[in-house]
Amino acid sequence: MLFSIPESGWWLIALAATAFFMLGVRALVDSMRLPGASRSAWKQQSRWKRRAFYVLTPVFAAVVLAINLLRSEPVPELLFLYSVAFVSLPIALFPVRARVLRHYIAQRQNSGVEIEPDRLTVVWIVGFLSAVLLTAVLALLTTRYDM
């Protein structure tokens, strides 16, 4: 049932996943503005970085897809894995963005002291991405052997 979607539908899903990734990363960056930094200074400093992100991300995604499409795997399965990867990254980082920002600020204030990563953040990100990976693999295995 998962791969009953036509190939053109999977291309649209992959395109939507790329757009979701780009918007998700943009929302993460905008929500992690340093305290005391003015909005105009923040936008001015990151303007060229934002442009590079919006130009290089689709190019990178296209190169990854092109390289993987040269393999003998079916196209819908590759586009499914691509979409899962691009959608899961912003979702994994969004709930812990405040904790990451807090540790980043502490590290900038105490540059000589090495700050260990927050265990809850690491457990959340690794656990969430592992669950997504396991779910995607199970989805591929069950659809492959259903036929």
More confidently predicted of 92 and 39: 92
**Encoding tokens for residue 133?**
């990976």
- Tell me 38's DSSP state: -
How much helix, strand and coil, in percent to the nearest 5, is found in the chain? 85, 0, 15
* Helices 75-93 and 7-31: angle between axes, nearest 10 degrees: 20
34-85 pLDDT, tens digit each: 666 555 655 666 677 777 888 888 898 888 888 877 877 778 888 898 899 9
Q: Which helix (H) or strand (E) holds 4?
A: none
Tokens 């036509």, located at residue? 6
Which amino acid is it at 54? Y
Q: CB neighbours of 130 closer than 8 A, spacing ≥ 6? A: none
Global pTM? 0.78
Inform me whether the pLDDT recorded for 132 exceeds 90: yes
Nearest to 86 by CA among 2, 13, 8, 5: 13
* Cβ count near 115 (within 10 Å): 12
What kind and span of H or E run contains 36? none
Q: What's the pLDDT score for residue 136?
A: 93
